[in-house]
Amino acid sequence: MITLVVTACPAGLRGDLTKWLLEISPGVFVGNVSARVRDSLWERTVGLCKDGRALMIFNAPNEQGYDYRVHLHSWEPVDMDGLTLMKRPNAREDYQRARTGWSKARVYRRAIRR
């Protein structure tokens, strides 16, 4: 059993995935396919997705009972003592990285005050 979630991907990819999987909501596909077909669908999804995001969850013979793959996602899988967990990005770090300096308006107002 697999679940494949695509975001901001071309409509052609969604149409292609419906050949093998059932689309239960826009961009959410569910199905029961072999590992060979699953890997082929993932390669095709990554190839056609371009700037969009993709996340696939599937059954696996491990302690969790499932595994997942991500493509261009802000959350990234991290292995913690044999368990694969999703690491969420820290909102504060993203905000601090986004601010590279003062805005042009702030610099202009400050120059006028001096």
90: CATH: 3.30.70.240
pTM of the model: 0.75
C-alpha dihedral sign at 13, 22, 27, 83: negative
Q: How many domains does the chain have?
A: 1
CA 87 to chain centre: 12
Q: Are strands 53-59 and 76-80 parallel, antiparallel or unpaired?
A: unpaired
Domain that holds residue 14: 2-113
Tens of pLDDT, residues 45-97:
999 988 899 999 999 998 999 999 999 988 888 988 888 898 888 766 555 55
Tens of pLDDT, residues 26-36:
999 999 999 99
